[in-house]
Chains A and B, each alone.
Chain A
Amino acid sequence: MKDFREKLRGDYLLFLLTGASASSVFIIIGLIVYKLIEGSWLSIQRFGIGFLIGTEWDPAISQNFGALPLISGTLVTSGIALLIGVPISLGVGLVLSEYMPRQLSFATSFVIELLAAIPSVIYGLWGIFTLAPFLRDNVYPYLQALLGFTPLFSGPIYGGGVLTAGIILAIMIIPTISSISRDVFSAVPNSQREAVISLGATRWETVKIVMSYARSGVIGAVLLGLGRAVGETMAVTMVIGNRFQVFPSSLFDAWYTLAAIIANEFTEATYDLYLSALIEVGLVLFLFTLMINILARIIILRALGPMRGIARE
């Protein structure tokens, strides 16, 4: 009887220890929310909702802080990233699940996922010295010649800027979106494909059915990619030019994002309100990514249903 009780005590201890560790995730997330609000309280009190719609960022003289240009900069660069990245990622996902033999597909997925393993700062380094000069000399002049009549593609070309930031973000979200969409495509039952093929459909017509079957999972994957693009810091700050302005004159012009301004100015914030405003920028960024991530996770879990665990990041 004594042995038995000891045995139970050990089990109980194991349960408590692991349970407490597992619950720490709630404490961490709760503390993050609390500390971010506490840190930005000064700025919240001072500017209120005006912080979100203000277009002035002047730490030197007026000490007014508004984040609207940062929010739009973040949304525009992430939007460009999705425009470029999503079609490519879907293509990669389709090749991996529908067009390639299984063994080759495993190896190729691994290589694609290596893209996610490369640190952000190395993307930035490559962006400054390889991608930006390449785009400046070989792509942007032609783009301008072709579409220069619109304000989007007019103006001087530096190499860096909004479009370059969007392109680098697109590259960074490709592994996320393509690997999850491959999982979602592969989860489509073969009976669906067989039914369509038996009606005489071509490969592409079959793939279209697979895609419509997997639609919600793909939306989840895209949202997850968006979450990554919105929070991306170092690579963006190294190529976007870091200029605070309401609207850049063109896609070749410099701009700013929420994450980039934190990286640039956080260690130089010389007084409390300045620091508080930067922490509030962090809070806004946090809320954006929180919403996107929760939505993405719910959609993916629903889409994969019993196949949980596959698309978890």
Chain B
Amino acid sequence: MRGSEMYHYRMRRLVDGLMRVLVWLALVVALIPLFSILGEVFSKGAPHLNMDVLISPMPTVGEQGGGIGNAIQGTLITIFLASIIGVPLGVLSGIFLSEYGEFKLSSAVRFFNDVLSGFPSIVIGIFSYTIIVTSIGFSVMAAAFALAIIMIPIITRTTEEALKIVPLTVREAALALGISRWKTLIYIVIRGAKRGIATGILLAIARVAGESAPILITMGYWRWWFSGLNKPVANLALNIYLFAVSPFDNWRNLAWLSALTLTAMILMINVVMRIFTKEKYI
């Protein structure tokens, strides 16, 4: 090779090596916040973890002790109510998309489902406010309604994907035996996709468990235990916000403890989900 060619070749090798270092560096930089968050939440939350804290209600201003018992109760109730609306609607929509995918309507539903899943959760909170809070007031119903709307597109998509994994030949075999379409679906296809659908529902639950913006708009803060569907309940994620911006050490400790509880729950669901399916969280 002539000198100039040699120089050119070296430059190309150099750029190649440099870019290789840069892309790997990007991966390292992206992972640092994750490990920092997990480390901080664990190291600042774990020391305050005990049975008492998990069952006592939120402390008042200046009060020592107290806990996140009512927030755990409230979060579970809200998620349960949201699931009553969101799970059937989501699963049925998913069935429609997978079994009647040939209709024009299906691609429109799929598209708008994706668009709905991109709406900011606070906008969905305002929507629930205008529909429910204006008629029955700040309440767990309004919060559950907002969370249900956030759940629907997630469950729809995961159900569709889960049902599509069941091979077409299974459906054809059943139909060839003269079994009607709905019986094929309910007794055969869904049975095969059970695990996928269940993990999709769990995924949606993990997502809404961490929502705080729509909770703030539809319920606000509540220091007490559950006291009726037309009243608010306490909420773990929202408590983190309230506690974090407070000046009291006791409350800040509870913020980290709530964060630990929430993160543990969400990570557990995600890891379990990943073991069972190849579905993505995002």
Q: Spell out A's residues near B (CB within 8 Å).
A: 7-8, 10-11, 13-15, 17-26, 28-29, 31-32, 35-36, 38-39, 87-92, 94-96, 99, 108, 110-126, 128-131, 171, 174-176, 178-180, 202-205, 207, 224, 227-228, 230-234, 238, 259, 262-263, 266-267, 279, 282, 285-286, 289-290, 292-294, 296-297, 301, 309, 312-313
Is B22's beta carbon under 8 Å from chain A?
Answer: yes
Is B37's beta carbon under 8 Å from chain A?
Answer: yes
Q: How far is the CA of A20 from the CA of B113 in the complex (A)?
A: 14
Main secondary structure of the interface of A (DSSP, over half): helix
Q: List the A side residues contacting B110 at CB < 8 Å.
A: 312
Q: List the B side residues contacting A309 at CB < 8 Å.
A: 161
* Interface residue from A7, A174, A282 paired with B126 (Cβ < 8 Å): A282
CB of A22 within 8 A of CB of B240, answer: no
Q: How far is the CA of A170 from the CA of B238 in the complex (A)?
A: 23
Instruction: Enumerate 21 A-B pairs (CB-CB under 8 Å) in ascending A order.
Output: A19-B105, A21-B93, A24-B93, A29-B116, A89-B26, A91-B30, A119-B211, A119-B262, A119-B263, A121-B244, A126-B36, A130-B36, A171-B33, A176-B282, A205-B12, A227-B118, A238-B241, A259-B120, A289-B119, A293-B114, A301-B111
Most chain A C-beta atoms within 10 Å of own C-beta, residue among B23, B44, B110:
B23
CB of B27 within 8 A of CB of A92, answer: yes
CB of A313 within 8 A of CB of B182, answer: no
> If the complex has contacts A23-B105, A92-B30, A313-B282, are A39 and B270 also in contact, measured as CB distance less than 8 A?
no
Closest CB in chain A relative to B26 CB, distance in Å: 3
Q: How far is the CA of A301 from the CA of B107 in the complex (A)?
A: 11
* Interface residue from B25, B40, B270 paired with A114 (Cβ < 8 Å): B270
Q: List the A side residues contacting B182 at CB < 8 Å.
A: 10-11, 13-14
Q: How far is the CA of A113 from the CA of B183 in the complex (A)?
A: 37
Closest CB in chain B relative to A51 CB, distance in Å: 16
CB of A313 within 8 A of CB of B114, answer: yes
Closest CB in chain B relative to A261 CB, distance in Å: 10
CB of A18 within 8 A of CB of B244, answer: no
Instruction: Give me 4 other A-B pairs in contact (C-beta within 8 A), A15-B100, A87-B26, A312-B157 excluded.
Output: A26-B109, A38-B130, A119-B237, A122-B210
Is B212's beta carbon under 8 Å from chain A?
Answer: yes
CB of B267 within 8 A of CB of A114, answer: yes
> If the complex has contacts A18-B99, A263-B122, are A28 and B213 also in contact, measured as CB distance less than 8 A?
no
Is B104's beta carbon under 8 Å from chain A?
Answer: no
Is B217's beta carbon under 8 Å from chain A?
Answer: yes
Q: How far is the CA of A4 from the CA of B151 in the complex (A)?
A: 37
CB of A92 within 8 A of CB of B26, answer: yes
Q: List the A side residues contacting B96 at CB < 8 Å.
A: 18-19, 21-22
